[in-house]
């Protein structure tokens, strides 16, 4: 299904997802000042709340402006519209009068793509399964989960050959900020820091976690559980979630940083967890997704960890990791699967 937002005509829906998109459009164009948005549940129990349309318009404008999107450009929607990520793709297309191609969300939504696209938002898993087609898309923003080092490498390998104009960004945001509030380019430049959009202000709270002051998106100053390093008033680096920090023998370990290190060396998904231990408080354990492999084990033993205390005390292979509906790994269920208490 294609929707040309430069006209008032709307196509007929042929699939359940297309019906959901047109249903959201009807609610977007009605007299109500708000629309309902569901959170993903990645940081807590999923909930539904009302968001003011005017704040969503402001979010859409920031993204369209930073990417230089203009009327009649082509966007592709392949994310669920019950979440803010999919809703905002529709809003951006409506507000900037783009041509919107609607594809039912799947792990490889662009497998049949054979035309150039100006803009698309995807999850890391979708990009992973669409590498042979991403050169058709000029601007890709990746959200919903962190972009692994192995995926970044695959993106570079895929795009460095053909002459492409692709710009690929990792996003930082949440439902409460109406999608992303910051972007970090990962291709063709590999940036280290996220850059906040518009007039959004960032700071640290007393825990060292990120605070977001974005009154045009949310009337409250948002306190996150994300530990960050702030470079200046516009740039920050994500270190890890405070509720993921592992305290092993008095040493605070940021699992996301170790995961980033490991993923540069092996293709598997990995997670570091702190398992209750009588002596250390928490024992550092590395979980690897997939079948046990001696080559991977040998490679892991030779990694240059920050210190000997950052070496995992145990390596566990699991066939598949539990995930929540948006594809993020469910760390709590992982802990329950390896620690029987």
pLDDT in tens, 175-198: 888 889 999 999 999 999 999 999
Residue 282 phi, psi dihedral angles, 5° rounding? -135, 135
* Separation CA 299–CA 265 (nearest Å): 8
Most confident option among 15-24, 145-154, 278-287, 298-307: 15-24
> What is residue 163's predicted lDDT score, i.e. its pLDDT?
66
Instruction: Say if residue 230 is in the same domain as residue 252.
Output: no
pTM for this predicted structure: 0.84
Conformation bin of residue 284: beta by default, left when phi > 0, alpha when psi is -120 to 50: beta
pLDDT average, residue stretch 99-107: 95
Query: Within 13 Å and on the Cβ side, how many CA atoms surround 232?
Result: 2
Instruction: Say if residue 183 is in the same domain as residue 296.
Output: no
Query: How large a percentage of the chain has pLDDT more than 90?
Result: 64
* Count of structural domains, the chain: 2
CB atoms within 10 A of CB 173: 23
* pLDDT tens digits along 41-70: 555 556 788 889 999 999 999 999 999 999
* pLDDT tens digits along 134-156: 999 999 999 988 888 888 989 99
Instruction: Say if residue 223 is in the same domain as residue 271.
Output: no
Whole domain around residue 315: which residue ranges? 245-338
> What is residue 339's predicted lDDT score, i.e. its pLDDT?
74
Instruction: Say if residue 41 is in the same domain as residue 103.
Output: yes
> What is residue 325's predicted lDDT score, i.e. its pLDDT?
65
> What is residue 293's predicted lDDT score, i.e. its pLDDT?
87
* Separation CA 18–CA 35 (nearest Å): 18
Res. 288: pLDDT tops 80: yes
Instruction: Say if residue 48 is in the same domain as residue 175.
Output: yes
């Amino acid at each position: 299904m294609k929707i040309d937002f430069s006209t008032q005509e709307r196509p007929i829906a042929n699939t359940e997802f297309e019906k959901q998109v047109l249903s959201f459009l009807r609610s977007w164009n009605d007299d109500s000042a708000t629309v309902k948005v569901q959170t993903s549940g990645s940081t807590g129990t999923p909930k539904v709340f009302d968001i003011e349309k005017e704040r969503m318009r402001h979010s859409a404008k920031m993204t369209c402006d930073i990417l230089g999107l203009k009327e009649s450009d082509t966007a592709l929607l392949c994310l669920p519209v019950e979440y803010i990520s999919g809703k905002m793709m529709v809003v951006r297309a409506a507000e900037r009068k783009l041509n919107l191609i609607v594809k039912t969300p799947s792990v490889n939504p662009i497998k049949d793509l054979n035309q150039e696209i100006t803009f698309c938002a995807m999850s890391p898993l979708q990009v992973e399964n669409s590498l042979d087609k991403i050169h058709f898309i000029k601007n890709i923003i990746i959200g919903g989960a962190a972009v692994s080092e192995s995926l970044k490498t695959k993106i570079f390998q895929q795009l460095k050959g053909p002459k492409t104009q692709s710009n690929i960004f990792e996003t930082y945001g949440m439902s409460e900020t109406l999608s992303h509030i910051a972007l970090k380019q990962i291709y063709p430049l590999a940036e280290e820091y996220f850059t906040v959009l518009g007039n959004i202000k960032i700071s640290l709270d007393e825990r060292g976690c990120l605070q977001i002051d974005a009154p045009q998106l949310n009337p409250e100053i948002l306190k996150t559980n994300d530990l960050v390093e702030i470079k200046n008033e516009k740039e920050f680096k994500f270190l890890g979630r405070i509720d993921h920090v592992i305290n092993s023998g008095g040493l605070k370990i940021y699992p996301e940083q170790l995961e980033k290190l490991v993923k540069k060396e092996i293709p598997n998904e990995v997670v570091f967890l702190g398992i209750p231990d009588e002596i250390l408080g928490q024992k550092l354990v590395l979980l690897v997704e997939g079948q046990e492999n001696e080559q991977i084990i040998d490679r892991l033993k030779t990694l240059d960890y920050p210190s000997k205390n950052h070496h995992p005390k145990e390596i566990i292979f699991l066939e598949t990791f539990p995930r929540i509906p948006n594809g993020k790994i469910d760390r709590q269920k992982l802990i329950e699967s390896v620690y029987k208490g």
